[in-house]
Structure 1
Amino acid sequence: MKKSKKDVQIEAVKAIFSGDLLLEDAMKKYGVKDKRTIVSWMKAFSPLFRDNEYSRNTISEETAQAPAVNEYIVKENQLLKRVIILQDQLRELEEKNAQIQAHRNLLMDKVARLELKLQAREKREATPDA
Protein backbone atom coordinates (compact mmCIF):
# COMPACT_ATOMS: atom_id res chain seq x y z
CA MET A 1 0.00 0.00 0.00
CA LYS A 2 1.38 3.37 -1.02
CA LYS A 3 1.87 5.95 1.73
CA SER A 4 -0.02 9.21 1.59
CA LYS A 5 1.85 12.46 1.20
CA LYS A 6 1.09 13.36 4.82
CA ASP A 7 2.39 9.99 6.04
CA VAL A 8 5.63 10.53 4.15
CA GLN A 9 5.97 14.00 5.65
CA ILE A 10 5.33 12.68 9.16
CA GLU A 11 7.82 9.85 8.60
CA ALA A 12 10.48 12.34 7.47
CA VAL A 13 9.90 14.65 10.45
CA LYS A 14 9.89 11.70 12.85
CA ALA A 15 13.23 10.51 11.46
CA ILE A 16 14.73 13.98 11.86
CA PHE A 17 13.42 14.54 15.39
CA SER A 18 14.50 11.08 16.51
CA GLY A 19 18.00 11.72 15.20
CA ASP A 20 17.88 8.88 12.68
CA LEU A 21 18.43 11.31 9.79
CA LEU A 22 20.03 14.70 9.39
CA LEU A 23 17.97 17.26 7.53
CA GLU A 24 20.03 16.88 4.34
CA ASP A 25 19.77 13.09 4.50
CA ALA A 26 15.98 13.31 4.89
CA MET A 27 15.85 15.63 1.89
CA LYS A 28 17.66 13.05 -0.22
CA LYS A 29 15.66 10.10 1.08
CA TYR A 30 12.26 11.75 0.58
CA GLY A 31 13.11 13.62 -2.63
CA VAL A 32 12.78 17.13 -1.22
CA LYS A 33 14.71 19.77 -3.15
CA ASP A 34 14.29 22.78 -0.83
CA LYS A 35 15.32 22.87 2.82
CA ARG A 36 12.43 25.21 3.58
CA THR A 37 9.98 22.44 2.67
CA ILE A 38 11.32 20.11 5.35
CA VAL A 39 11.47 22.96 7.87
CA SER A 40 7.82 23.77 7.19
CA TRP A 41 6.96 20.08 7.72
CA MET A 42 8.87 20.17 10.99
CA LYS A 43 6.94 23.25 12.12
CA ALA A 44 3.62 21.75 11.06
CA PHE A 45 4.12 18.33 12.65
CA SER A 46 6.23 19.16 15.73
CA PRO A 47 3.07 19.42 17.94
CA LEU A 48 2.21 15.83 16.98
CA PHE A 49 5.53 14.61 18.27
CA ARG A 50 5.11 16.41 21.57
CA ASP A 51 1.58 15.15 22.22
CA ASN A 52 1.51 11.51 21.15
CA GLU A 53 3.48 8.29 20.88
CA TYR A 54 5.99 9.80 18.41
CA SER A 55 7.57 11.78 21.25
CA ARG A 56 8.22 8.69 23.38
CA ASN A 57 11.46 6.83 23.36
CA THR A 58 12.61 3.66 25.06
CA ILE A 59 14.82 5.42 27.61
CA SER A 60 12.46 7.85 29.33
CA GLU A 61 8.92 8.56 28.22
CA GLU A 62 8.44 11.34 30.77
CA THR A 63 11.38 13.48 29.65
CA ALA A 64 11.31 12.81 25.92
CA GLN A 65 10.09 15.73 23.85
CA ALA A 66 10.81 16.61 20.28
CA PRO A 67 13.13 19.61 20.07
CA ALA A 68 11.74 22.82 18.70
CA VAL A 69 12.46 23.36 15.04
CA ASN A 70 14.71 26.33 15.79
CA GLU A 71 16.68 24.29 18.34
CA TYR A 72 17.16 21.56 15.78
CA ILE A 73 18.34 23.99 13.12
CA VAL A 74 20.73 25.67 15.58
CA LYS A 75 22.15 22.27 16.57
CA GLU A 76 22.50 21.25 12.94
CA ASN A 77 24.25 24.52 12.11
CA GLN A 78 26.66 24.00 15.01
CA LEU A 79 27.46 20.53 13.70
CA LEU A 80 27.98 21.88 10.18
CA LYS A 81 30.29 24.61 11.50
CA ARG A 82 32.28 21.95 13.37
CA VAL A 83 32.54 19.87 10.20
CA ILE A 84 33.80 22.91 8.27
CA ILE A 85 36.40 23.63 10.96
CA LEU A 86 37.56 20.00 10.88
CA GLN A 87 37.75 20.08 7.07
CA ASP A 88 39.89 23.23 7.26
CA GLN A 89 42.18 21.59 9.82
CA LEU A 90 42.45 18.49 7.64
CA ARG A 91 43.35 20.62 4.60
CA GLU A 92 46.07 22.41 6.61
CA LEU A 93 47.48 19.10 7.82
CA GLU A 94 47.48 17.70 4.30
CA GLU A 95 49.38 20.78 3.09
CA LYS A 96 51.93 20.41 5.90
CA ASN A 97 52.25 16.72 5.12
CA ALA A 98 52.92 17.51 1.45
CA GLN A 99 55.62 20.01 2.47
CA ILE A 100 57.21 17.48 4.81
CA GLN A 101 57.20 14.81 2.11
CA ALA A 102 58.77 17.21 -0.39
CA HIS A 103 61.47 18.11 2.15
CA ARG A 104 62.01 14.41 2.92
CA ASN A 105 62.43 13.68 -0.81
CA LEU A 106 65.03 16.46 -1.10
CA LEU A 107 66.94 15.11 1.87
CA MET A 108 66.80 11.56 0.52
CA ASP A 109 68.17 12.84 -2.81
CA LYS A 110 71.02 14.66 -1.03
CA VAL A 111 71.86 11.55 1.01
CA ALA A 112 71.91 9.43 -2.14
CA ARG A 113 74.25 11.89 -3.89
CA LEU A 114 76.56 12.06 -0.87
CA GLU A 115 76.67 8.25 -0.69
CA LEU A 116 77.65 8.12 -4.38
CA LYS A 117 80.41 10.68 -3.78
CA LEU A 118 81.63 8.71 -0.80
CA GLN A 119 81.68 5.47 -2.81
CA ALA A 120 83.55 7.18 -5.63
CA ARG A 121 86.13 8.57 -3.17
CA GLU A 122 86.55 5.17 -1.53
CA LYS A 123 87.13 3.57 -4.98
CA ARG A 124 89.73 6.18 -5.83
CA GLU A 125 91.54 5.64 -2.55
CA ALA A 126 91.36 1.85 -2.89
CA THR A 127 92.88 1.80 -6.37
CA PRO A 128 96.65 2.23 -6.47
CA ASP A 129 97.88 5.29 -8.27
CA ALA A 130 99.53 4.54 -11.51
Structure 2
Amino acid sequence: MATVQAVSEATSSWDPYARGCPSRDLLDRIGDKWSILVLGELGEHGASRFTQLRKRLSGVSEKMLTQTLRALERDGLVLRTVYPAVPVRVEYELTPLGETLRKPLKALTEWSLGHTEDVLAAREEYDARAEQVS
Protein backbone atom coordinates (compact mmCIF):
# COMPACT_ATOMS: atom_id res chain seq x y z
CA MET A 1 0.00 0.00 0.00
CA ALA A 2 1.27 3.45 -0.91
CA THR A 3 2.30 5.77 1.87
CA VAL A 4 0.60 9.14 2.29
CA GLN A 5 3.81 10.88 1.20
CA ALA A 6 4.09 8.74 -1.96
CA VAL A 7 0.47 9.44 -2.86
CA SER A 8 0.95 13.15 -2.18
CA GLU A 9 4.05 13.24 -4.40
CA ALA A 10 2.25 11.42 -7.20
CA THR A 11 -0.82 13.65 -7.14
CA SER A 12 1.23 16.84 -7.03
CA SER A 13 2.82 15.88 -10.35
CA TRP A 14 -0.50 15.17 -12.08
CA ASP A 15 -1.68 17.76 -14.57
CA PRO A 16 -5.14 17.34 -16.10
CA TYR A 17 -4.09 19.64 -18.96
CA ALA A 18 -1.30 17.28 -20.01
CA ARG A 19 -2.05 14.53 -22.49
CA GLY A 20 -1.91 11.07 -20.95
CA CYS A 21 -2.35 12.24 -17.35
CA PRO A 22 -4.54 9.83 -15.34
CA SER A 23 -6.41 12.76 -13.80
CA ARG A 24 -7.41 13.92 -17.29
CA ASP A 25 -8.77 10.49 -18.08
CA LEU A 26 -10.77 10.57 -14.86
CA LEU A 27 -12.19 14.02 -15.68
CA ASP A 28 -13.22 12.69 -19.08
CA ARG A 29 -15.02 9.80 -17.41
CA ILE A 30 -16.93 11.75 -14.79
CA GLY A 31 -17.63 14.58 -17.25
CA ASP A 32 -19.21 12.26 -19.79
CA LYS A 33 -22.93 12.94 -20.36
CA TRP A 34 -24.17 9.50 -19.38
CA SER A 35 -21.71 9.06 -16.49
CA ILE A 36 -22.96 12.24 -14.83
CA LEU A 37 -26.57 11.15 -15.25
CA VAL A 38 -25.96 7.58 -14.03
CA LEU A 39 -24.03 8.78 -10.99
CA GLY A 40 -26.74 11.33 -10.25
CA GLU A 41 -29.53 8.77 -10.53
CA LEU A 42 -27.75 6.26 -8.31
CA GLY A 43 -27.02 9.04 -5.82
CA GLU A 44 -30.67 10.09 -5.71
CA HIS A 45 -32.37 6.69 -5.78
CA GLY A 46 -29.79 4.29 -4.35
CA ALA A 47 -29.32 0.76 -5.66
CA SER A 48 -31.12 0.29 -8.96
CA ARG A 49 -31.60 -2.41 -11.53
CA PHE A 50 -30.53 -1.88 -15.12
CA THR A 51 -34.11 -1.54 -16.37
CA GLN A 52 -34.90 1.05 -13.67
CA LEU A 53 -31.89 3.13 -14.70
CA ARG A 54 -32.78 2.85 -18.37
CA LYS A 55 -36.33 4.09 -17.71
CA ARG A 56 -35.12 7.03 -15.61
CA LEU A 57 -32.41 8.04 -18.10
CA SER A 58 -34.58 8.98 -21.04
CA GLY A 59 -32.74 8.55 -24.34
CA VAL A 60 -29.93 6.25 -23.25
CA SER A 61 -29.52 3.13 -25.36
CA GLU A 62 -29.03 -0.27 -23.77
CA LYS A 63 -25.53 -0.44 -25.26
CA MET A 64 -24.50 3.00 -23.97
CA LEU A 65 -25.88 2.33 -20.49
CA THR A 66 -24.01 -1.00 -20.37
CA GLN A 67 -20.75 0.65 -21.48
CA THR A 68 -21.17 3.49 -18.99
CA LEU A 69 -21.92 1.18 -16.07
CA ARG A 70 -18.93 -1.04 -16.90
CA ALA A 71 -16.60 1.96 -17.11
CA LEU A 72 -17.88 3.38 -13.81
CA GLU A 73 -17.51 -0.04 -12.19
CA ARG A 74 -13.95 -0.34 -13.53
CA ASP A 75 -13.12 3.07 -12.06
CA GLY A 76 -14.45 2.00 -8.66
CA LEU A 77 -17.38 4.43 -8.66
CA VAL A 78 -20.20 1.92 -9.09
CA LEU A 79 -20.69 -1.50 -7.52
CA ARG A 80 -22.43 -4.22 -9.52
CA THR A 81 -24.07 -6.91 -7.40
CA VAL A 82 -25.46 -10.12 -8.92
CA TYR A 83 -28.14 -11.95 -6.95
CA PRO A 84 -28.54 -15.63 -7.79
CA ALA A 85 -32.19 -15.95 -8.69
CA VAL A 86 -34.25 -17.01 -11.67
CA PRO A 87 -33.94 -14.81 -13.59
CA VAL A 88 -30.64 -13.42 -12.32
CA ARG A 89 -31.07 -10.04 -10.61
CA VAL A 90 -28.37 -7.38 -10.94
CA GLU A 91 -28.24 -4.11 -9.03
CA TYR A 92 -25.95 -1.11 -9.33
CA GLU A 93 -25.10 1.33 -6.57
CA LEU A 94 -22.50 3.94 -5.75
CA THR A 95 -19.38 2.78 -3.96
CA PRO A 96 -18.00 4.90 -1.10
CA LEU A 97 -15.72 6.53 -3.70
CA GLY A 98 -18.71 7.19 -5.95
CA GLU A 99 -20.55 8.72 -3.00
CA THR A 100 -17.83 11.37 -2.76
CA LEU A 101 -19.00 12.68 -6.15
CA ARG A 102 -22.57 13.33 -5.01
CA LYS A 103 -21.90 16.82 -3.64
CA PRO A 104 -19.96 18.18 -6.66
CA LEU A 105 -22.44 16.63 -9.11
CA LYS A 106 -25.38 18.09 -7.19
CA ALA A 107 -23.70 21.51 -7.36
CA LEU A 108 -23.33 21.16 -11.14
CA THR A 109 -26.95 20.09 -11.48
CA GLU A 110 -28.16 23.02 -9.38
CA TRP A 111 -26.00 25.42 -11.39
CA SER A 112 -27.38 24.10 -14.69
CA LEU A 113 -30.97 24.38 -13.45
CA GLY A 114 -30.38 27.89 -12.14
CA HIS A 115 -28.68 29.14 -15.31
CA THR A 116 -30.50 27.36 -18.13
CA GLU A 117 -32.45 30.48 -19.09
CA ASP A 118 -29.23 32.55 -19.15
CA VAL A 119 -27.54 30.04 -21.43
CA LEU A 120 -30.54 29.79 -23.74
CA ALA A 121 -30.62 33.60 -24.03
CA ALA A 122 -26.88 33.69 -24.76
CA ARG A 123 -27.34 31.08 -27.49
CA GLU A 124 -30.13 33.10 -29.08
CA GLU A 125 -27.97 36.24 -29.05
CA TYR A 126 -25.02 34.37 -30.52
CA ASP A 127 -27.14 32.77 -33.25
CA ALA A 128 -28.65 36.15 -34.15
CA ARG A 129 -25.16 37.71 -34.45
CA ALA A 130 -23.90 34.74 -36.47
CA GLU A 131 -26.90 35.02 -38.80
CA GLN A 132 -26.17 38.72 -39.41
CA VAL A 133 -22.57 37.93 -40.37
CA SER A 134 -23.55 35.23 -42.89
TM-score, normalised to structure 1's length? 0.30
Larger radius of gyration: 1
Which structure dedicates a bigger proportion of its chain to strand?
Answer: 2
Which structure dedicates a bigger proportion of its chain to helix?
Answer: 1
Identify the structure with bigger relative contact order (alpha carbons < 8 Å, sequence gap 6+): 2
